[in-house]
Amino acid sequence: MRKKKRFPKIKGKSPASKHEKGMALIIVVIVLAFLQVIGLVLLQVTGTGPKIAGNIRTQQQAYNAAEAGFDVAWTNIEEYFGLGEWAHFDGHYVVEPSGIDNPQSYNYFRKLTDIELLNLIDSDWDGIADLENVIFCRQTYVQTEGSPDDRYRYTAFLIDDEAGGGTPDPTDAILVCIGSVELGNTITTTRLEIELVIEH
């Protein structure tokens, strides 16, 4: 019969006491919890990246829509002047609602968001302006398989930059172009404001 071999005691204790075994378990649990938290953070970060990229892409598309609105509006305005239909900007500004061109007014166009402006211009979103002198109202510009793509639109109108004070000058105006990308219930917009001056 074999004899059981005993481990030597170190200063009266066995090499691995019950207390030390418990500490090892606690350390393992802490390390596993830490790794789990790191894993969840990595999942969150990698899941957010595509969303951010999508938002940036949509914002760029809205900017492109605003630029398209400016290009078409500027071409039409040049044509109006070239044909003699317009001699100046007076009478072609958007003046409703009251104060839209007055910096002291609550309705001043720069105090309103793009969506608020679009709601003022086309309250029922049917593509027909409810205000006078709007050059373009929610106009589509992208063609998909031969038909307009309703997701990409622009709105353009003129504002009198001296209406809030100063000497009236009908030879200049602010051309406001709002580009919008409509994806489901989400609307992303970008606004361009360009000062136009008639050269004599």
Q: How far apart are CA 98 and CA 93, in angstroms?
A: 12
Residue 19 has pLDDT above 80, yes or no: no
Number of helices followed by number of strands (H, E) in the chain: 2, 6
Domain locations along the chain: 39-197
What's the pLDDT score for residue 10? 55
Residue 139 has pLDDT above 70, yes or no: yes
What's the pLDDT score for residue 116? 94
- In this structure, are strands 147-148 and 152-159 parallel, antiparallel, or unpaired? unpaired
pTM: 0.73
Q: Which two tokens stand for residue 7?
A: 């481990």
Residue 118 CA from chain centroid, whole number = 15
Q: Which two tokens stand for residue 41?
A: 């953070």
Give residue 184's pLDDT band: very low, low, confident or very high (50, 70, 90): confident
Residue 13 has pLDDT above 60, yes or no: no
